[in-house]
């Protein structure tokens, strides 16, 4: 179960930060474990990243642990097949939310989780949790460096802008009205 959550969380990182369109078959030079760890640690503040578990995919697509953690956070390095930097770090509740999203199940409401993407992210649809490429209908947004609050009650999200085409310079709700709505909080 734990491994499944890690794999699903890593997939969320790739999907949330969007598309592999035209990039997934692009050859990528292998990185050393230390390079992967360094990349993953850029996702969160140093005090969080220093105690986080670091995981990455191996060359067969299986998740492997590069470093054990002690603080309940798991960080993943940048996905080199996406156009922008997108390392991610999440707590256990955010990983459960990711598991629900990937399984197309409703996440537990009130099990609030935190995700860091301080290096930014590859841009994503603001309305479709499963969009992989921009279209006129899915309101693609530039995310930039941010943190995410996931799993909160709907009343929490009602306090923030829910526009399909938000001002990404202020906190806003991504995927509003879906079970996967979450608060995007820009940090720069």
Task: Write the DSSP symbol of residue 59.
Answer: T
Q: Provide the residue range defining the domain that includes 73.
A: 2-186
Average pLDDT, the chain: 84
- Pairing state between β 113-117 and 146-150: antiparallel
Give yes or no for residue 1 having a pLDDT over 60: no
- Pairing state between β 113-117 and 124-125: unpaired
Residues 158-174: b if buried by 16+ CB within 10 A, e if exposed? eebebeeebebeebbbb
Residue 174: enclosing H or E segment and its boundaries? strand 172-174
- Is residue 41 within 8 A of residue 49, CB to CB? The reply is yes
**DSSP of 90-125:** E-HHHHHHHHHHHTT-PPPTT--EEEEETT----EE
Chain position carrying tokens 């998740």: 63
pLDDT of residue 102: 79
pLDDT of residue 29: 60
**Per-residue model confidence as pLDDT tens digits over 95-142:** 899 879 878 999 999 999 999 999 987 788 899 998 888 888 889 898
Give yes or no for residue 18 having a pLDDT over 70: no
Choose the weakest-confidence range: 19-28, 29-38, 75-84.
19-28
- Is residue 186 within 8 A of residue 168, CB to CB? The reply is yes
- The reported pTM is 0.81
| Tally of CB atoms within 10 A around 47 | 9
Considering its fold, how many domains does the chain have in total? 1
pLDDT of residue 62: 83
| Tally of CB atoms within 10 A around 64 | 13
pLDDT of residue 98: 81
Give yes or no for residue 145 having a pLDDT over 50: yes
| Both tokens assigned to 73 | 């956070």
Q: Summarize the confidence of residues 152-176 as an average pLDDT.
A: 96
| Both tokens assigned to 65 | 């642990």
**Per-residue model confidence as pLDDT tens digits over 34-74:** 999 999 999 999 999 999 999 998 888 788 999 999 999 99
């Amino acid at each position: 179960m734990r491994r499944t959550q890690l794999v699903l969380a890593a997939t969320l990182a790739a999907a949330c930060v969007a598309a592999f369109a035209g990039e997934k078959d692009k050859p990528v030079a292998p990185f050393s474990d230390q390079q992967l760890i360094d990349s993953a640690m850029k996702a969160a503040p140093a005090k969080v990243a220093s105690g986080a578990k670091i995981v990455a995919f191996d060359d067969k697509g299986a998740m492997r642990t590069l470093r054990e953690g002690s603080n309940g956070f798991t960080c993943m390095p940048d996905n080199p097949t996406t156009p922008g930097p997108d390392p991610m770090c999440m707590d256990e509740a955010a990983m459960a939310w990711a598991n629900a999203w990937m399984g197309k199940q409703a996440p537990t409401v009130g099990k609030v989780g935190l995700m860091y993407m301080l290096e930014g992210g590859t841009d994503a649809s603001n309305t479709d949790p499963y969009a992989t490429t921009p279209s006129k209908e899915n309101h693609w947004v530039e995310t930039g460096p941010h943190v995410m609050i996931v799993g909160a009650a709907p009343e929490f999200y009602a306090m923030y802008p829910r526009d399909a085409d938000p001002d990404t310079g202020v906190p806003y709700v991504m995927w509003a009205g879906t079970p996967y709505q979450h608060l995007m909080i820009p940090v720069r």
